[in-house]
Amino acid sequence: MLEPFKEPIFVTKPLLPDIDELHKMLELIWESNQLSNNGAMVKQLERELSGYLGLDQLSVFSNGTVALQIACKALRLSGEVITTPFTFAATAHSLAWNNIKPVFCDIEEDTFNLNPDCIEALITQNTTAILPVHVFGNPCNVEKIQRIAEKYGLKVLYDAAHAFGVKVNGKPIASFGDASMFSFHATKIFHTIEGGALAFNDPYLKERADSLRNFGIRGTDYVMEPGTNGKLNEVQAAVGILLLPKVEAEIEKRKEITKQYGQLLGNVSGITVSKDMPGVTHNYPYFVIRIDKDKYGLSRDEVFDKLKEYNVISRKYFYPLCSNYQCYSDIPSASVSRLPVANKIADTVLALPLHGRMQADDVEKICDIIKGIMP
Residues 69, 113, 180, 183: which binds ligand T4K (CB under 6 A)? 183
Residues 15, 45, 90, 119: which binds ligand T4K (CB under 6 A)? 90
Say whether residue 133 binds ligand T4K (CB under 6 A): yes
- Please tell me what DSSP assigns to residue 315: B
For the CA atoms of 179, 16, 168, 183, what is the dihedral angle to 10 degrees?
-20
d(Cα 93, Cα 190) in Å, to the nearest integer?
23
Name the segment binding ligand T4K (CB under 6 A); options: 111-119, 136-144, 185-193, 228-236: 185-193
Degrees, nearest 5: CA angle 116-130-231 = 135
Residues 59, 69, 84, 91: which binds ligand T4K (CB under 6 A)? 91
Name the segment binding ligand T4K (CB under 6 A); options: 96-104, 179-187, 208-216, 360-368: 179-187
Minimum gap (Å) between residue 267 Cβ and ligand T4K? 29
By CB atoms closer than 10 A (0-12, 13-18, 19+), residue 209 is buried
Kindly provide the residue ranges of all beta strands, DSSP E only, lying in the chain, ordered along the sequence.
9-10, 57-61, 80-83, 101-104, 127-131, 155-159, 167-168, 171-172, 179-183, 196-200, 217-219, 222-223, 271-273, 280-281, 287-291, 312-313, 349-352
Residues 55, 58, 60, 64: which binds ligand T4K (CB under 6 A)? 64
Residues 50, 187, 214, 260: which binds ligand T4K (CB under 6 A)? 187
Q: Which is nearer to ligand T4K, 88 or 200 (CB)?
A: 88
Residues 41, 71, 92, 161: which binds ligand T4K (CB under 6 A)? 161
Minimum gap (Å) between residue 198 Cβ and ligand T4K? 12
Rounded to an integer, what is the distance from CA 34 to the centroid of its chain?
30
Say whether residue 313 binds ligand T4K (CB under 6 A): yes
d(Cα 373, Cα 4) in Å, to the nearest integer?
12
d(Cα 175, Cα 158) in Å, to the nearest integer?
10
Say whether residue 293 binds ligand T4K (CB under 6 A): no
Say whether residue 250 binds ligand T4K (CB under 6 A): no
Question: Measured over all CA atoms, what is the biggest interatomic distance in the chain, rounded to whole angstroms?
Answer: 71
Q: Which amino acid is at 286?
A: Y
Residues 38, 57, 65, 324: which binds ligand T4K (CB under 6 A)? 65
Say whether residue 63 binds ligand T4K (CB under 6 A): yes
Give the DSSP H/E element, type plus range, for residue 215: none
Residues 186, 217, 268, 341: which binds ligand T4K (CB under 6 A)? 186
Name the segment binding ligand T4K (CB under 6 A); options: 16-24, 199-207, 288-296, 309-317: 309-317
Q: Which is nearer to ligand T4K, 261 or 317 (CB)?
A: 317
Q: Residue count at the site for ligand T4K (CB under 6 A)?
A: 24
List residues bridging with 200 in a β-sheet: 57, 179
Say whether residue 283 binds ligand T4K (CB under 6 A): no
d(Cα 310, Cα 166) in Å, to the nearest integer?
33
What is the binding site for ligand T4K (CB under 6 A)? 10-14, 63-65, 87-88, 90-91, 133, 159, 161-162, 183, 185-187, 196, 313, 315, 317
